[in-house]
Amino acid sequence: MHELIQSELPLELPSASFKEVDGIQMGVLNDTTPYLTERGLARLCGVNPKTISDLSNNWSDEKFKPRGKRIKQILEQHKFTSERIVIKTEQHGQKISAYPDAVCMAVLEYYAFDSDNTDAETAQRNYRLLARKTLRDFIYESVGFSPESLKLNSWRHYHDRILLNKLPAGYFSVFREIADIVISAIETGLIIDSHTVPDISVGQMWASYWKAENLESAHGARQKFPHEYPEYFPQSSAKTEANIYPLGALGEFRVWLENVYLPQKFPAYLDRKISQGYIPKQTAGLLLESLKRPKN
């Protein structure tokens, strides 16, 4: 069983991979959590899908009843402490329920050994199979997923945006100047995609600082310039413009980025992404640590 889940599950996460194998629907969320759908978990346990949906939909009450109490006990033995047992994701435009591997194994164990109301043969057979090979490995292998593939996709997203957005002479852009942040983010496991675009946050904060400090009077006017997204980004369909700034202000921007944005503003950005379910808390902590500047 996956033992790394220490805190509350996010309400919703995008799905990075999805496949149906021998009638069992499974996938991987974009934080690398493997999951089974409601129908997939029900098939694994040899029960009706409604049995699983009733469990998760009424979990706040079910966890005090014999079935839910036993499942909760199994989860706690493996350090799963979330008050939710399901995450919403989207597949083919439809919202679906994703049950993390830890939850799946706890529910499967219950139906294999503790339930009096079902034929346990199916659940026992599948539990023995997955005891030899973890559900996480089984799902990864079945859908052809590797955590490294998410990192490679992040590099592709960043690389493709760099190629699309050339600048005129004499100007710099926030997008290009936050390369250290983006590279550190990707290396620590943050998924850089259409949901997590750090340059928007930095750009908004810097634009406010530029105006509040009247930096135009010292460096000249900033300009609006087209900013393009790869065609696989939802943002690609809109005509977007971003501010570009005179090169003379580049030093001031870098001082502001290091002394103001990173220590004071960036943690709040990461907190928002954690609450939205796009960033695991552990990843955010590693990223903040990696961006700390060594003291002289």
Q: Round to whole Å and give the CA distance between 67 and 53.
A: 14
- For 115-156, what is each residue's pLDDT tens digit? 876 678 888 888 887 876 778 788 888 887 766 666 667 777
Q: Round to whole Å and give the CA distance between 150 and 128.
A: 30
Supply the DSSP symbol for 172. E
Report the range of poorest mean pLDDT among 104-118, 209-223, 269-283. Answer: 269-283
Percent of the chain beyond pLDDT 90? 41
Which of 237 and 263 is assigned the larger pLDDT? 263
Phi then psi for residue 288, to 5 deg, are -60, -40
Domain spans of the chain, in order of start? 15-145, 148-290
Q: Round to whole Å and give the CA distance between 203 and 209.
A: 10
Residue 2 · residue 104 · CB < 8 Å: no
- State the pairing for strand pair 240-246/171-173: antiparallel
Structural element, H or E, at residue 15: strand 15-21
| Residue 2 confidence (pLDDT) | 40
Closest CA to 127 of 100, 143, 142, 105: 105
Kindly tell me if the per-residue pLDDT of 46 is higher than 50.
Answer: yes
pLDDT band at 195 (very low <50, low <70, confident <90, very high): low
Report the range of poorest mean pLDDT among 30-34, 95-99, 115-119. Answer: 115-119
SS3 206: helix
Structure tokens at 19: 């496949």
pLDDT band at 3 (very low <50, low <70, confident <90, very high): very low
Phi then psi for residue 227, to 5 deg, are -125, 120
Put the strands of the sheet holding 15-21 in their side by side order. 15-21, 24-29, 34-37, 94-100, 87-91
Closest CA to 44 of 129, 117, 102, 113: 129
Closest CA to 267 of 250, 254, 251, 279: 279
